[in-house]
Chain A
């Protein structure tokens, strides 16, 4: 059998028999009723949800980093880290000329 010819014939069948465009009775009324029952999109609620999720993720990351600091860094290294952090935070103040 010539499969190409069969394919063309079947495509021609589909072309010559387009599906109907009949719309069920009072379909537009149903659509409008459905639209009326849709919850209103509240952008503030969306932002609120997103921020709460972000807060949860941030808290998780903080906990993980804290745990990592305690487990991975030995005691003196942790102390060094604290000194380093303090030096970094106050570097601008330490280096500033006291003019008053």
Chain B
């Protein structure tokens, strides 16, 4: 029978560092999936996940076991991703006017008939990425958590450490920022 998370954590805290490896193996897929929402380059994604595991190991004694280990880890991951976004803010692409042919074609299909624009199209996925890259770190985090991953406001408050009212304010601003970015793409083309 495999040891539980609590048993592994107790072993690590007792000095058996090797017991941390099964935890890394078990939760890394979830961490990679989350980190890939915020970083595009695979090397950056790996750096984020590595940093999360380092923090988790160093702060393991602060894990009280009241909530599942996964929740504790996800809080750490979201906060690390937010720090990553803030530190890489200057690297954001500034011009959004140069759409690729495929992206323009997808937008044209959407203008002609929104239902016909395929959600699986690579161009649409790229367009979403470019749109998210344009947002400020807090707006991107809120849009990702609230609209794409569909967490509740209360859950986002727990994940980020922000108050519920701050999440609501940031969500409102994030939507406005997203609208502004969309208007920027479409101005001159379709408006």
**CB <8 Å contact, A32 and B20:** yes
The secondary-structure label for the interface of chain B is helix
Q: A28 contacts which chain B residues (CB < 8 A)?
A: 21, 24-25, 28
Q: B131 contacts which chain A residues (CB < 8 A)?
A: 10
Q: Choose one: B30, B37, B53, B128; the contact of A35 (CB below 8 Å).
A: B53
Chain B 109-144 near chain A by CB (<8 Å), digits 1 or 0: 011001001011100110110011000000000010
Q: Does B32 contact A (CB under 8 A)?
A: yes
Q: Does B186 contact A (CB under 8 A)?
A: yes
**CB <8 Å contact, B46 and A27:** yes
Query: Closest residue to A10 on the B side, CB-wise?
Result: B128
Q: Does B178 contact A (CB under 8 A)?
A: yes
**CB <8 Å contact, A10 and B20:** no
**CB <8 Å contact, A10 and B127:** yes
Chain B 44-87 near chain A by CB (<8 Å), digits 1 or 0: 00100110011001100000000000000000000000000000
Q: Does B170 contact A (CB under 8 A)?
A: no
Query: Closest residue to B38 on the A side, CB-wise?
Result: A19
Query: Closest residue to B23 on the A side, CB-wise?
Result: A28
**CB <8 Å contact, A1 and B21:** no
**CB <8 Å contact, A36 and B17:** yes
Q: A20 contacts which chain B residues (CB < 8 A)?
A: 32-33, 36
Q: Does A76 contact B (CB under 8 A)?
A: no
**CB <8 Å contact, A1 and B54:** no
Q: Does B191 contact A (CB under 8 A)?
A: yes
**CB <8 Å contact, B50 and A34:** yes
Q: Does A14 contact B (CB under 8 A)?
A: yes
Q: Does B173 contact A (CB under 8 A)?
A: no
The secondary-structure label for the interface of chain A is helix
Query: Closest residue to A11 on the B side, CB-wise?
Result: B147
Chain A 46-89 near chain B by CB (<8 Å), digits 1 or 0: 00000000000000000000000000000000000000000000
**CB <8 Å contact, A23 and B28:** yes
Q: Which of B1-50 contact A (CB under 8 A)?
A: 17-18, 20-21, 24-25, 28-30, 32-33, 36-37, 42, 46, 49-50
| A interface, CB within 8 angstroms of B | 1-7, 9-24, 27-28, 30-32, 34-36, 38, 41
Question: Can you list 29 A-B pairs with a CB-CB distance of less than 8 A?
Answer: A1-B111, A1-B186, A5-B114, A7-B175, A7-B178, A9-B119, A10-B127, A10-B182, A11-B128, A11-B143, A11-B147, A13-B119, A17-B119, A17-B128, A18-B33, A19-B37, A20-B36, A21-B30, A22-B32, A23-B32, A27-B28, A27-B46, A27-B49, A28-B21, A28-B28, A31-B28, A31-B53, A31-B54, A35-B57
| B interface, CB within 8 angstroms of A | 17-18, 20-21, 24-25, 28-30, 32-33, 36-37, 42, 46, 49-50, 53-54, 57-58, 110-111, 114, 117, 119-121, 124-125, 127-128, 131-132, 143, 147-148, 150, 175, 178-179, 182-183, 186, 190-191
